[in-house]
Amino acid sequence: MKPWTFTTYTVAAFACSGLAVALLIFNAATANSMLSTLLPVAIGALVLGGIFSVRARVLRYRSRDITKRDNTKR
């Protein structure tokens, strides 16, 4: 399997966060009838989205490492 790129992690983080928001809106629309199920799933999606976001940022920083630049061209 090919390793994930910055873009893949970013899209996954956005999708997880969007899923969490959609679940919370659905929960509000159903007057909290499924609160015990939807709230933990939404929190899990937010946590997973945060992990993906941090991983994407780490990959981005590694690709822009300024210590690897060639400073001889001035």
Q: What is the pLDDT of residues 23-33, one digit of tens each?
A: 999 999 999 99
CA distance 17 to 46: 5
pTM score of the predicted model: 0.79
Query: Between 69 and 12, whose confidence is greater?
Result: 12
The 10s digit of each residue's pLDDT in 7-66 is: 999 999 999 999 999 999 999 999 999 999 999 999 999 999 999 999 999 999 988 876
Question: Is the CA virtual torsion 14, 20, 23, 29 positive or negative?
Answer: negative
Q: Are 56 and 6 in contact (CB under 8 A)?
A: yes
pLDDT for res 16: 97
CA distance 68 to 65: 6
pLDDT for res 53: 96
Amino acid at 38: L
Contacts of 5 (CB under 8 A, 6+ apart): 59
